Amino acid sequence: MFRGLIVTKSFSSGSFRRNHLLSDEDGDRHVDNVDVEATWQALESRAGSQLIDVRTRAEWTYVGMPDLGSLSKRSILVEWQTFPDQAVDPRFVERLAVELSALGVTLDDDLFFICRSGGRSLAAAKAMAAMGYRACHNVAGGFEGPLNDERHRGTVGGWKAAGLPWLQG
Nearest to 50 by CA among 64, 71, 32, 35: 71
- Within a domain: 118: yes
Residues 81-111 pLDDT 10s = 988 888 999 999 999 999 999 999 999 999 9
* pTM, rounded to two decimals: 0.83
CATH number at residue 115: 3.40.250.10
- 8-17, 68-77, 106-115, 124-133: least confident range: 8-17
Per the structure, the count of domains in the chain is 1
Pairwise CA distance, residues 49 & 116, whole Å: 20
- Domain residues for 151? 11-167
- Within a domain: 47: yes
- Within a domain: 84: yes
pLDDT at 82: 87
pLDDT band at 4 (very low <50, low <70, confident <90, very high): very low
- Within a domain: 1: no
Strand 32-34, strand 19-23: pairing:
antiparallel
pLDDT at 49: 97
Helix (H) / strand (E) containing 76: strand 76-77
Pairwise CA distance, residues 124 & 130, whole Å: 10
Nearest to 111 by CA among 135, 128, 95: 135
